[in-house]
Amino acid sequence: MGKRVGIEVSIAAADAVASTDVDVVAAYPITPQTHIVEHLSELVNNGELDAEFIPVESEHSAMSVCCGSSAAGARTFTCTSSQGLALMNEIVFIAPGLRLPIVMILANRSLSGPLSIWNDHTDVMSIRDCGWIQVFAETGQEVYDHVLFSFRVAEDPAVSLPVILNMDGFILTHVIEPIEYWEPEQVKRYLPDFKPVNALDPDRPTTVGAFGLPGIYSEAKKAQDEALIHSKEHILKAWEELGQVVGRHYKPVETHLTEGAETVFLTMGSIGQTVAMAVERLRDRGEPAGLVKLRLWRPFPFEELRDAVRGAKRIIVIDRAISYGGTGGPVASEIRSALYGEDHMPAVTNFICGLAGRDVTPDDYIAMYERSLEMTQSKVGQEDSVFYGVRE
């Protein structure tokens, strides 16, 4: 068993990255991601990590450097947030098209207009369809474990896709938590050396990033979609083996007190812990409440989600982003789609809250619960998604 230390989660995340003997790190500073890249550059400059740390001039270049580095066969990491993600957007879509196994931590933060440095999920929801594997961590330990998991999955030759590890800005990045570090033997056992499917090599010249005419573009995209869909079996295997190595067990969809639950909350990321407190209090009052947490966002875990909510009459989806002029929150709209056509489809109610780090307490979630009981069968449309706690 590895040592357990009380440490800021960003530092632990950087240590986890360093434990993989990463080859190239390219990053541009942005709050709240900074502590991760600061610590990585410190490790490099102190000779504790043998890697190229490339302090690029923008996030667009960060992701571009990562593409060049990964294509050349190096284990590659970057880290960003919010506006940084928005700036690198163009290249974010290209990396999975080229099947480059880059790992990126996204310290989730609101998108600007007005500028905000605080936490919500508007950044990651803007790239929902970018083609990366996307997972959410709820605690510092989950962040640490999932750094190793992300490299393992991304670089699996049967997957060869980039992975985004979401961690809530400040709520996770800037808190001190007790975290169990992995022993070097555990890392070695879990994460094999990176052997790229293709690497730029003068001895074996390849052309990467060719131009796709209409006669072949659809085939290229179908191949990419199939790769993402089928990555799930390797994701499940990677979690299973992670459990064998460090004794912590992860699933695409986690449940808490869902046995006999009629109304379940659905969350992503760190708010799961707050909602769990609310659910426990509701249970104490005799209310049939439960909690479902989505850990795997892409590829979407349809079966696991359906199993998790089976028997529930109502799902309260907590969204931390908005689909302007659309169907309310992006997560709720996905949940509705995933359950559409199911027998006894539960009503989906949707609250948008916790934008830009606004505090949402267990009392607030209990209030949402009570309010949801008054909301009848949901209809897809704006009227059933509610901005919680907004002053009129």
Rule CB under 8 A: which residues touch another protein? 21, 23-24, 26, 50-52, 54-58, 60-62, 64-74, 76, 90-91, 94, 97-100, 160, 197-198, 200-202, 204-213, 215-216, 218-220, 222-223, 226-227
**Nearest residue (CB) to another protein, 56 versus 345:** 56
Task: Write the single-letter amino acid at 282.
Answer: L
Least separation, in Å, of the C-beta of 130 and another protein? 14
Amino acid occupying residue 390: V
Smaller CB distance to another protein: residue 207 or 359? 207
3-state SS class at 179: strand
For the CB of residue 87, give the shortest distance to another protein in the complex, in Å. Answer: 11
Q: Are strands 76-80 and 103-108 parallel, antiparallel or unpaired?
A: parallel
CB of 292 within 8 A of CB of 305? Answer: yes
d(CA 306, CA 297): 14
Name beta bridge partners: 267: 293
Q: Shortest Cβ distance from residue 71 to another protein (Å)?
A: 5
In eight-state DSSP terms, residue 339 is H
Separation in Å, CA 268 to CA 186, 232, 273, 352? 28, 18, 10, 13
Nearer to another protein, 60 or 256 (CB): 60
* Cβ–Cβ < 8 Å for 372, 314: yes
Could you give the 3-state DSSP secondary structure of residue 345?
Answer: coil
CA dihedral 278, 336, 124, 226 (to 10 degrees): 130
**Beta carbon of residue 90, minimum distance to another protein (angstroms, whole number):** 6
Nearer to another protein, 77 or 388 (CB): 77
Work out how close the CB of 376 gets to another protein at its nearest, in angstroms, rounded to a whole number.
44
Provide, rounded to whole angstroms, the least separation between the CB of residue 131 and another protein.
12
Q: Where is 176: in which H helix or E strand?
A: strand 176-180
Which residue in this structure is represented by tokens 């163009």? 90
Q: How far is the CB of 196 from another protein (least distance, A)?
A: 10
Q: Shortest CA distance to 314 belongs to which of 280, 266, 282, 356? A: 266
Least separation in angstroms between CB 356 and another protein? 29
**Amino acid type, 125:** M
CB of residue 135 to another protein, shortest distance in Å? 22
Which of 210/259 has CB closer to another protein? 210
Q: Please give the order of strands across the beta sheet that includes 263-267.
A: 253-256, 289-294, 263-267, 314-319, 347-352, 385-387
Minimum Å gap between C-beta 126 and another protein is 18
Tokens standing for residue 20: 């993989």
Q: Which is nearer to another protein, 195 or 344 (CB)?
A: 195
Cα three-residue angle 270-175-291, rounded to 5 degrees: 15
Cα→Cα distances 14→7, 301, 359, Å: 11, 28, 27
CA distance 59 to 123: 14
Size of the chain, expressed as the number of residues it contains: 392
CB nearer to another protein: give 70 or 372: 70
